[in-house]
């Protein structure tokens, strides 16, 4: 085993917890309980056995376990849950954290290395947590001549924009934070924010390398936004809607990648460029301009930008899934919830336990989530893969690729879509 | 009295469009040196390489130590290529002292020198890979280099800085069974470096990025005094192992790799092709080497040279590497001057970078087969 990492002893871990038990209890009593109460005020309380639960009665689940699930279910219907936990930030951050881990291990395997190994018992699974703690503990250094308010705000706005992007992604039928009818337009609007944030942070740092990096990022994002938007027009033409949930639902028979492979390829390449992944990582090209527009960020500001980057990666991969790979649609692989647990309860020896409030999710929802996650992980894998295979390209090659080749291919895609529409094969009132 | 400031520090009136970038000495794309680059948009209008950050005074130190104690510190400038940087010094001292080297020692020297050339080139290639943003090409050579480092460790006892060459032969004989292990490792190594073509040298993005950038024509390459792989990539068939064979290179069967293009891609490809030739040389030398015999001539303590001077040069991983030794009948040399290939190749950098794009700077700079520490000595 490791000689570098100190030996983990469970007894010492328990002892350290017991040592701090008083503080845990104090913090829970002073902060945790009021926080839970505040959250519960936003929850529409269910009526259980003819009695309306109030936020104060809600804590009675501690005494009466049968109330746990109804309260949880009521909480799950709130916007707070959707934004913070399931289709929103928490779910995306979890997938993003998994992405970082997979990226490290996969690249390590490709490059005949081991990758993260010591942190956490299994294959360095806690490495990300360690890195996060390290970034939190680092001093934040701001250049003396920086434009401080903008420089401070840039990482926060970056994460905010990435989270706004995440909010537009439908994960399962009905599970989306913001179900807007012009969802795709909203996506374009959010994507349009990123170059502004990048150039603001780069310019406000008042340093040469970030400035060059910011200009490069601006060139790159602006010139790839046009093929990105054009490549998605084919899907819009065939579905006749901008609502992402409806686009996903329209692919119950077949995904659009079957008919629009050109658009899917163009969209995938523009994803790589928008995400500044290798081979398009010119704004962060380290051998030329140190770390590009990230050069002056330190401590948790850098951590926030990285968080935003990986949220963005998840959101783009999910967008690809929703638009081209059929979103949540897929064969039913999730087993149905056993009915007798709801009707009869679980027989545990002499007593029968009735669990009210089951099931939490319907079978269709769970199946949709599973398919969505499988497809998204697959797309993320292909986004990560070029990093191990390609070198970085140059800015003039990038621009000619964006302006000449990708835009041309995007138009070909639009013509394919129009042809399918007017031939009456697909689209509203089509054969399929 | 006015003191003249170095170019990067002096205030100079420049066009408003032009931005001066200090690439280095603290920069991921510079090594232990600084390149002062003036850019107009994305184009480099002027470039001024500024080495000297790792000057160690090796040549001055050599004047205070005798011929034997000079060995461990003279190899410090290029620890990855330590056999080759000692080679001209050892050859020169042998000529000064009039020593005849045993045949087996000559073969061992050739093997060690070729192994070191590969070790250096792999390190150089790893950095070339990461300069182009290809992280796999950083990890693979750095890992495969271990094969040869293990061989050198078996031979000399040290992973780097072997101090294996001494006037009169090599320090130790080969360990038992070395020939078989060496043949096996070198064959596997050759198989591995051939795989680099698929991921790196045949990569369409790499070719599109480095081809026709930083072109050094044949005339310019000769006029600027470049050596080694840079010269051979510009179409000049010049290899000291062929032109001025030392030790047993004239008995071995190998060829020099010459490419005509003279661009960054050709300059990056020649060392890779040279590594395959090195594998061939090692196999050939292992075949022809006398199986037993002395490997070292016993020297007197504190040997003294005559009133003489000698200049010897060898083909190192970076090109011609010369050593000029002046002796004045003392145990210490009067003067030791190293003439290194890195510095000669660096002279070409401002000419190559002028008018290039900033994105080409790392590939052009590192394709010159330049090692900052060696240039500073």
- Encode pLDDT of A375-425 as tens digits: 999 999 999 888 888 888 888 888 888 888 888 888 898 888 888 888 776
In tens, the pLDDT along B235-284 reads 888 888 888 888 888 888 888 889 888 888 999 899 999 999 999 999 99
pLDDT at B208: 87
Residue A186 lies in a domain: yes
Check if the beta carbon of residue B152 is closer than 8 Å to that of residue B115. yes
Judge whether residue A2 has pLDDT over 60.
no
Residue A54 lies in a domain: no
Judge whether residue A3 has pLDDT over 60.
no
Q: A-contacting residues of B 79-98, CB under 8 Å?
A: none
Domain housing A393 = 142-422
pLDDT at B122: 92
Judge whether residue A32 has pLDDT over 50.
yes
Chain A nearest C-alpha distance from B222 (Å) = 29
> Scanning every residue of chain A, which has its alpha carbon at the shortest distance from the alpha carbon of B206?
A391
pLDDT at A137: 85
Residue A96 lies in a domain: no
Residue A14, burial from CB neighbour count under 10 angstroms (0-12, 13-18, 19+) = exposed
Q: Cα separation of A142 and B76, whole Å? A: 39
Chain A nearest C-alpha distance from B353 (Å) = 13
* B218/A contact by beta carbon, under 8 A: no
Domain range annotation of chain B: 58-342
pLDDT at A432: 55
pLDDT more than 90, % of chain B: 8
Q: Please indicate whether, in this complex, the C-beta atoms of B208 and A288 are within 8 angstroms of each other.
A: no
Kindly indicate the confidence band of residue A1, based on its pLDDT and cuts at 50, 70 and 90.
very low
Residue A301 lies in a domain: yes
Residue A395 lies in a domain: yes
* Residues counted in chain A: 432
In tens, the pLDDT along A103-116 reads 888 888 888 888 88
Q: Please indicate whether, in this complex, the C-beta atoms of A391 and B205 are within 8 angstroms of each other.
A: yes
Judge whether residue B359 has pLDDT over 60.
yes
Check if the beta carbon of residue A283 is closer than 8 Å to that of residue A217. yes
pLDDT at B119: 92
pLDDT at B9: 58
Q: Please indicate whether, in this complex, the C-beta atoms of A393 and B209 are within 8 angstroms of each other.
A: yes
Higher pLDDT, A59 or B36: B36
Judge whether residue B12 has pLDDT over 70.
no
Question: Comparing C-alpha atoms, which of B200, B90, B190 is closest to residue B148?
Answer: B190
Neighbours of A404 (CB within 10 A): 10
Question: Comparing C-alpha atoms, which of B75, B84, B138, B134 is closest to residue B109?
Answer: B84
- Considering only the beta carbons, identify the residue of B42, B139, B208 that sits closest to A111: B139
Average pLDDT, chain B: 86
Q: How many domains does chain A have?
A: 1
Average pLDDT, chain A: 82
Kindly indicate the confidence band of residue A429, based on its pLDDT and cuts at 50, 70 and 90.
low
pLDDT at A83: 80
pLDDT at A16: 81
In tens, the pLDDT along A248-286 reads 888 887 888 888 888 899 999 999 888 888 888 887 777
> Scanning every residue of chain B, which has its alpha carbon at the shortest distance from the alpha carbon of A395?
B359
Chain B nearest C-alpha distance from A412 (Å) = 24
Interface test with A, best of B38, B205, B357 (most A CBs within 10 A): B205
Judge whether residue A199 has pLDDT over 60.
yes
pLDDT at B8: 56
Largest CA distance in chain A: 76
Q: Cα separation of B87 and B246, whole Å? A: 10
* B357/A contact by beta carbon, under 8 A: yes
- Considering only the beta carbons, identify the residue of B19, B130, B360 that sits closest to A394: B360
Q: Please indicate whether, in this complex, the C-beta atoms of A392 and B134 are within 8 angstroms of each other.
A: yes
pLDDT at A58: 66
A144's CB contacts (< 8 A; 6+ apart) are none
Higher pLDDT, B274 or A119: B274
In tens, the pLDDT along B57-88 reads 888 888 888 888 888 888 888 888 888 888 99
Question: Comparing C-alpha atoms, which of A264, A357, A366 is closest to residue A316?
Answer: A264
Helix (H) or strand (E) holding B101: none
- Considering only the beta carbons, identify the residue of B133, B209, B362 that sits closest to A397: B209
- Count Cα atoms within 13 angstroms, Cβ side, for A36: 16
- Considering only the beta carbons, identify the residue of B27, B143, B205 that sits closest to A290: B27
Judge whether residue B14 has pLDDT over 70.
no
The topology under which CATH files domain B58-342 is Cytochrome-c3 Hydrogenase; chain B (1.10.645)
Interface test with A, best of B17, B44, B136 (most A CBs within 10 A): B136
Give the range with max mean pLDDT: A8-12, A127-131, A281-285, B113-117: B113-117
pLDDT at B324: 92
Residue A399, burial from CB neighbour count under 10 angstroms (0-12, 13-18, 19+) = middle
Which residues of chain A does B131 touch, with a Cβ-Cβ cutoff of 8 Å?
287
In tens, the pLDDT along A206-220 reads 888 888 888 888 888
Check if the beta carbon of residue B323 is closer than 8 Å to that of residue B193. no
Judge whether residue A5 has pLDDT over 70.
no
Question: Comparing C-alpha atoms, which of A233, A220, A221, A222 is closest to residue A263?
Answer: A233
DSSP SS3 for A152: helix
């Amino acid at each position: 085993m490791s000689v570098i990492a100190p030996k983990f002893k469970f007894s010492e871990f328990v002892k350290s917890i017991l040592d701090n038990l008083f503080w845990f209890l104090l913090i829970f009593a002073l902060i945790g309980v009021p926080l839970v109460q505040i959250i519960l005020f936003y929850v529409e309380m269910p009526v259980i056995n003819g009695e309306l639960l109030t936020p104060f009665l809600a804590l009675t689940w501690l005494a009466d376990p049968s109330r746990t699930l109804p309260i949880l279910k009521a909480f799950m219907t709130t916007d707070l849950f959707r934004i913070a936990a399931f289709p929103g930030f928490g779910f995306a951050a979890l997938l993003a954290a998994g992405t970082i881990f997979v990226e490290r291990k996969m690249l390590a395997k490709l490059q005949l290395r081991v990758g993260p190994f010591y942190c956490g018992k299994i294959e360095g699974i806690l490495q990300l947590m360690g890195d996060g703690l390290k970034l939190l503990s680092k001093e934040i250094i701001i250049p003396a001549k920086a434009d401080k308010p903008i420089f401070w705000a840039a990482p926060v706005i970056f994460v905010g924009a990435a989270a706004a992007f995440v909010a537009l992604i439908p994960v399962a039928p009905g599970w989306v934070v913001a179900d807007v009818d012009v969802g795709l337009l909203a996506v374009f609007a959010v994507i349009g924010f990123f170059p502004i944030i990048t150039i603001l942070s780069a310019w406000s740092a008042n340093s040469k390398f970030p400035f060059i990096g910011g200009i490069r990022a601006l060139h790159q994002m602006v010139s790839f936004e046009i093929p990105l938007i054009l490549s998605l027009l084919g899907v819009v033409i065939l579905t006749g809607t901008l609502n992402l949930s409806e686009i996903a639902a329209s692919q119950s028979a077949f995904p659009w990648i079957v008919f629009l492979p050109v658009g899917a390829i163009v969209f995938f390449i523009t994803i790589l460029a928008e995400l500044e992944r290798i081979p398009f990582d010119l704004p962060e090209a380290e051998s030329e301009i140190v770390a590009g527009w990230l050069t002056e960020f330190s401590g948790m500001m850098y951590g926030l930008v990285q968080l935003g980057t990986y949220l963005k990666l998840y959101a783009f991969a999910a967008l690809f899934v929703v638009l081209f790979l059929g979103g949540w649609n897929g064969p039913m692989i999730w087993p149905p919830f056993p009915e007798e647990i709801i009707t009869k309860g679980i027989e545990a020896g002499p007593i029968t336990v009735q669990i009210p409030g089951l099931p939490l999710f319907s079978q269709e929802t769970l199946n949709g989530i599973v398919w969505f996650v499988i497809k998204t992980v697959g797309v993320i894998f292909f986004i990560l893969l070029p990093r191990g295979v390609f070198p970085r390209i140059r800015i003039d090659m990038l621009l000619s690729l964006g302006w000449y080749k990708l835009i041309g291919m995007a138009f070909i895609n639009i013509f394919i879509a129009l042809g399918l529409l007017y031939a009456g094969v697909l689209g509203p009132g089509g054969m399929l | 009295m006015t003191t003249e400031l170095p170019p990067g520090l002096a205030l100079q009136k420049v066009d408003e469009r032009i931005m001066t970038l200090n690439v280095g000495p603290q920069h991921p794309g510079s090594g232990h040196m600084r390149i002062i680059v003036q850019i107009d948009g994305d184009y480099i209008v002027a470039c001024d390489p500024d080495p000297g950050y790792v000057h160690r005074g090796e040549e001055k130190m050599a004047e205070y130590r005798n011929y034997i104690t000079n060995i461990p510190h003279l190899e410090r400038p290029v620890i990855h290529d330590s056999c080759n940087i000692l080679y001209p010094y050892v050859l020169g001292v042998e000529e000064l002292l009039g020593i005849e080297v045993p045949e087996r020692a000559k073969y061992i020297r050739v093997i060690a020198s070729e192994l070191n050339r590969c070790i250096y080139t792999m390190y150089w290639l790893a950095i070339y890979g990461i300069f182009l943003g290809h992280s796999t090409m950083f990890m693979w050579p750095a890992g495969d280099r271990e094969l040869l480092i293990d061989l050198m460790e078996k031979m000399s006892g040290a992973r780097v800085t072997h101090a294996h060459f001494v006037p009169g032969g090599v320090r130790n004989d080969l360990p038992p069974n070395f020939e078989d292990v060496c043949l096996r490792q070198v064959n596997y190594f050759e198989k591995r470096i051939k795989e680099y073509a698929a991921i790196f040298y045949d990569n369409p993005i790499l070719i599109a990025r480095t081809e026709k950038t930083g072109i050094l024509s044949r005339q310019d390459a000769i006029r600027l005094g470049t050596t080694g792989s840079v010269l051979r990539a510009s179409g000049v068939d010049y290899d000291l192992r062929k032109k001025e064979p030392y030790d047993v290179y004239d008995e071995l069967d190998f060829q020099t790799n010459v490419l005509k293009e003279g661009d960054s891609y050709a300059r990056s490809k020649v060392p890779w092709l040279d590594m395959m030739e090195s594998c061939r040389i090692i196999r050939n030398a292992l075949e022809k080497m006398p199986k037993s015999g002395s490997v070292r001539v016993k020297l007197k303590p504190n040997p003294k040279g005559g009133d003489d001077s000698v200049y010897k040069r060898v083909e190192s991983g970076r090109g011609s590497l010369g050593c000029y030794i002046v002796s004045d009948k003392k145990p210490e040399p009067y003067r030791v001057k190293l003439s290194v290939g890195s510095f000669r190749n660096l002279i070409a950098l401002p000419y190559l970078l002028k008018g290039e794009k900033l994105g080409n700077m790392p590939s052009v700079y590192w394709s010159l087969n330049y090692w900052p520490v060696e240039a500073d000595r």
